[in-house]
Amino acid sequence: MEVILKEDVLNLGFENDIVSVKNGYARNYLFPKRLAIPANESNRKILAETIKQRSRKLERLKADAETIVQKLNDINLMIKVKSSEEGRIYGSVTNVAVVEALKEQFNIEIDRKKINILTGHIKELGQYKVAVPLRKDVCAEFTINVIAE
């Protein structure tokens, strides 16, 4: 029996996949738990329309992410911190500080969890690379200049 999965099912498939399973597995497990629906003609048409609408939405989200990437790739972000004479920072520069500086200097809002400082922790003055993966296939990189106050 062919079914259309409504959710990801381990070792079977992902959401909106059409898979072939045994009749008992579909009737006794997938259908009662609402993990799948029968893959009849009307459900296949509904699935096709859903996929088409989702692709439009994903294209729009990808275009929005690419505009943000274009803005971010040209940025040279300056963060002023208190430091010792040897160039060591009191504390460290974190994702939160990067997000606040982006908002303050360039009016760009990004979730702090998406900021990835490529060199690890920033504990000294200097230049550092930062990557921001906005989507699975769209990633921006920019430079942070950490300078003394």
Residue where a domain terminates, one of 22, 45, 61: 61
Answer yes or no: do 108 and 130 share one domain. yes
Instruction: Measure the CA–CA gap between 101 and 146, rounded to whole angstroms.
Output: 11
Question: Phi and psi for 77 in degrees, rounded to 5?
Answer: -80, 135
Give tens-digit pLDDT for 68-102: 888 888 888 999 999 988 889 988 899 999 999 99
What is the number of structural domains in the chain?
Answer: 2
- Per-residue model confidence (pLDDT) at position 6: 93
- Per-residue model confidence (pLDDT) at position 20: 96
Q: In DSSP terms, which residues pair with 2 in a beta bridge?
A: 20
Answer yes or no: do 50 and 74 share one domain. no
- Per-residue model confidence (pLDDT) at position 145: 93
Instruction: Measure the CA–CA gap between 29 and 43, rounded to whole angstroms.
Output: 19
| C-alpha of 84 from chain center | 37
- Per-residue model confidence (pLDDT) at position 8: 86
Nearest Cα residue to 143 out of 132, 109, 135: 132
List the chain residues with pLDDT less than 70.
136
